[in-house]
Amino acid sequence: MANVSAEQLGTDSISSLLIKQALPASIGILVMSLNVLVDSIFVGNWIGSIAIAAINVVLPISFFIGALGMAIGIGGASIISRALGANNKEKALRTFGNQISFTILITVAMVAVGLTYVDTLIPAFGGKGSIFELAKIYYVIVLYGVPFLALNMMGNTVIRAEGKPKFAMIAMIIPSIGNLFLDYLLINVLDYGMEGAAWATTISYFLCFSYILYFFLSKNSELKLSAPYFSIDFSIIKEISSLGVVTLSRQAVVSIIYLLMNNILFDLGGEAMVAVYAIIGRMLMFALFPVFGVTQGFLPIAGFNYGAKKYDRVKESIYTAIKFAALLATIVFTGLMIFPAEIAGLFLSDKQNMSTLELATNAFVLENTPSAMRWVFAATPIIALQLIGAAYFQAIGKAVPALLLTLCRQGFFFIPLILILPNYLGELGVWISFPIADVLATIVTGYYLRKEINTNLV
């Protein structure tokens, strides 16, 4: 799990590099995902299952603003990886400086808008009925910390682009551990309820930011900044945006999906059905952590070698990443098919003083989550090709195909399916939309990736 220099990305064996890059990325994503998962378990057991639904309403809004930082980070990291591969450190420095300035400007503006329209946004994302008040409490507090979240997401991708995955992993672990400790203190010990859950999340963002700031001020970073690099360079901003729009579009579509799903499911089954989706949503974040880790580890390897014109190594990195990710996805699939009821039960409280609504919600969730979860993850073994294929185009700076392939699964297939199928199949139509979209998107991605390899990597 040692860090590697940028030059080693072009010389070490692909398998070795992928393990060195993907393992810490996977561990970091695992800890971050465990944070979301355990956070939801704490909230469900100490506050209630409706509180889980409330957080599910808020997440797509706050994460979209945070994803602006990730988009800027990944777009800039692609430039930085290729610049380091071409031995152009000046461009790498100017790119990083612009990433910081751009992230601060755009996220602060978005937070201002988000706070202004809080009473409109929460119901629009499914925060209706008894969900609304809890969602509003959580939303307002968490939004104050979202600029730090955006800077964290941006900085983390740059750390990986430098070939320092160990530090990127630590940056993801710190807020996760901090959030869980603060959850216990603020919710269980001090009994602050939903406010405690929100402040635990916000403070954890700041802890992560503090560590990332330390990294870039220390001798561990190759990107030493001075004031002139923070001045906005519109040519760099344009290049960052053209690549970052892939990530931003993905998160925008995710936010739209949450909006549609929460509203469709609320109409089909009220707060209880939204709670079912909230649990499945947490598992979608958590269960696929090793696949996402391989994808993150793959990005700097492909980007560096493409910039260095080592196309054989680029092809090898694609094939190796797909094999690793597919194996891990199959393992995840097996576990989810065997233990869905046990997973659902982790989120449920058995407190004796529960309200009638909470008792009814818990019973509904326990009965309906297992079958829904099996449908949602039915096509998990084949998603490796889909994720690595889209990531490849992003890594080499081809923004348009990266954008189209990223939107393929969720935007072009999944959204139309969830708008059509529930009209005929009810809630089953919602759940089977997931594997159908996965299969269709994998076929399309495989076709274009094969064409790219045969045409441009020869």
First and final CA of the chain: distance in angstroms? Answer: 32
The pLDDT tens digits for 382-434 are 999 999 998 898 888 787 888 888 888 888 999 999 999 999 999 999 999 99
pLDDT tier at 1, thresholds 50, 70, 90: very low
Mean pLDDT of 273-297: 86
- Portion of the chain with pLDDT greater than 90, in percent: 33
Compute the distance between CA of residue 196 and CA of residue 190 in angstroms, rounded to an integer: 8
Across 137-146, 151-160, 424-433, the highest mean pLDDT is recorded for: 424-433
Q: Which tokens hold the place of 57?
A: 């309403």
Displacement of CA 175 from its chain's centroid (Å): 15
The amino acid at 418: I
Compute the distance between CA of residue 180 and CA of residue 33 in angstroms, rounded to an integer: 12
Query: Is the pLDDT higher at 1 or at 86?
Result: 86
Neighbours of 447 (CB within 10 A): 11
Across 31-45, 64-78, 107-121, 149-163, the highest mean pLDDT is recorded for: 107-121
Nearest to 182 by CA among 168, 162, 203: 203
Query: Is the pLDDT higher at 75 or at 66?
Result: 75
pLDDT tier at 361, thresholds 50, 70, 90: confident
The pLDDT tens digits for 317-334 are 999 999 999 999 999 999
Beta-carbon contacts of residue 311 (< 8 Å; ≥ 6 apart) = 305, 456, 457, 458
Whole-number pLDDT of residue 370: 94
Whole-number pLDDT of residue 32: 65
Q: Which region holds residue 193: left if phi is over 0, alpha if psi is between -120 and 50, else beta? A: left
Whole-number pLDDT of residue 350: 62
Nearest to 212 by CA among 163, 251, 175: 175
Mean pLDDT of 277-283: 88
Compute the distance between CA of residue 395 and CA of residue 79 in angstroms, rounded to an integer: 9
Compute the distance between CA of residue 100 and CA of residue 105 in angstroms, rounded to an integer: 9
Mean pLDDT of 138-154: 90
Cβ contact 151:212 at 8 Å:
yes
Whole-number pLDDT of residue 401: 86
Per the listing, tokens 């708008």 go with: 419
Mean pLDDT of 20-43: 74
Mean pLDDT of 279-283: 88
The pLDDT tens digits for 181-210 are 999 999 989 989 899 999 998 999 999 999
Nearest to 249 by CA among 67, 76, 386: 67
Whole-number pLDDT of residue 339: 92
- Portion of the chain with pLDDT greater than 70, in percent: 95
Mean pLDDT of 249-260: 82
Q: Which tokens hold the place of 424?
A: 């005929």
